[in-house]
Structure formats: C-alpha cells, structure tokens
Amino acid sequence: MLIAGNWKMYKRPSETADFCRALTAPDGVEVVVCPPFPSLHEAVPTGVTVFAQNVHWESEGAYTGEVSAEMLLDAGVQGSIVGHSERRQYFAETDETAWRRATHALEAGLRVIYCVGESEEEREAGETGDVLRRQLGVVEPRDGLVLAYEPVWAIGTGKTATPEIAEGAHALIKEVVGVPVLYGGSVKPENAEDLLSQPSVDGALVGGASLELESFNAICQTAARIRS
C-alpha cells in the first residue's frame, strides 16, 4: 500500500524537515511526500521517500520554469506526480504532454504517479468510462509506474467518491493498464478505511489531509491496519 502526500503549493523549506521527521511509516505502507520544488532538498535528508509534483520531458534545455528528471534524481528525489488535474486545468497539460513527461521520467529512473479522472460534467453526462479510456489511451504499463484515479469533482471539495465509484473506476483502469492504482480526492482519516479496503484500491494520493501530521499519520495507520 502506498500513501502519497501531495503538498501542492504549500509548505516552505523551513517548514519541511521537522514535518517529514515526524511522519511515521507503519509496516507494509510506503509513505511518500511530494513537496514543492524549493522544499525538496529539505525533505530528502530526512529519509522519507520524496517525489516532485511535475517533471519535464527533456534532460535539459531552454525550458524556463521547468525541472528535469535528471535534476530531480541528482537531488535525491525518487519520483514525480505527472498529469495532475490542476496541471491539466491551469497549465494546459494534455494527455500527450503528460505522457511525454512520464515516459522520460521513467526512462531516466524516476518513479511516476500518473493522474487521471473525470470532471463533474463528464460524470453527470455518463462519460466517466469514455474519459478514462481516452486519458489512458496514451499510457502503457511500465516498471515504476503507478496510476492515481482522481475524480476532479472530488479534489479539494470535500466530496469523496463512494467506495463503489472508486472501485468501479479502479477496476477499469487496471483492466486497461494493469498497474497499481491510488485513489485521490478528499481522502481524510474518516473515509480512508472505506476507500482503502476496496480490492482494486492500492493506496491514496492525499492533498489537504497530508498537510497536517495528525491526519496524514492517521491515514497511514489506517492503510497499515487494512494491509495486515
């Protein structure tokens, strides 16, 4: 079971090391933190597994504002989130650019958490399956690749997919790509048990609740209980 905390644009370098040292990784659970770029170097020496939140598809070049897989590896970072819905929504990420980022990162030796998920309108129109199949159309199973099902309507909204909705989407994703799938979207200590005990749910990508030690540690403990 993998529990990853997506810090988004929260936590400065000065807030990072103490927080990471206070995380507990119970047996059977891999705990990952995904800090913003300037905080990565504070997280790495604490010994927790550290992923970035985005990575470019070239090793280096004239790409102002971007960071490469080779740079992240050099900094001791082990992986990256790719294709998060906020990147797709605010920064023009597409299925093609997201998968380009992921393939280069995987080839360079990073692990990747690759995000997919439908919007509220798409779910209401009954298009969830089609949208997931389209997003997954570019994706191929690779070593080091994990997917995250993050229904956009459940991210940061407090609305969580029911365990049945999550299980249905995860089963579809696994049928198409055949790699482990994390659930993301308003995961909290109160709903973690129901979501993580679904057979096709292999862990969680946690946003808001990963910013507080108490809630993030509680979710990791729940994962360990379900595992054992």
Residues within the interface to ligand PGA (CB under 6 A) = 6, 150, 155-156, 184-187, 205-209
Instruction: Name the minimum Å distance from CB 93 to ligand PGA.
Output: 14
Smallest gap, in angstroms, from Cβ of residue 195 to ligand PGA? Answer: 11
CB of 83 to ligand PGA, least distance (A): 11
Nearest to ligand PGA of 34, 70 (CB atom): 34
Q: Which two tokens stand for residue 67?
A: 């960071």
Which two tokens mark 63? Answer: 């790409």
Of 6 and 16, the one with the shorter C-beta distance to ligand PGA is 6
For the annotated catalytic residues, the residue numbers are: 84, 150
State how far the Cα of 35 lies from the Cα of 82, in Å rounded to an integer.
Answer: 14
Residue nearest to ligand PGA (CB): 207
Contacts of 23 (CB under 8 A, 6+ apart): 31, 33, 48, 213, 216, 217, 220
Neighbouring-strand partners of residue 148: 115, 182
Q: Is 188 exposed, middle or buried (0-12, 13-18, 19+ CB in 10 A)?
A: middle
What minimum distance in Å lies between the beta carbon of 165 and ligand PGA?
Answer: 15
As given in the structure block, the two tokens for residue 27 are: 């047996």
Of 59 and 89, the one with the shorter C-beta distance to ligand PGA is: 89
| Short-list 59, 104, 53, 100, CA closest to 81 | 53
Half-sphere exposure of 98 (CA within 13 A, CB side): 27
Q: Quick one: 97 or 186, whose CB is closer to ligand PGA?
A: 186
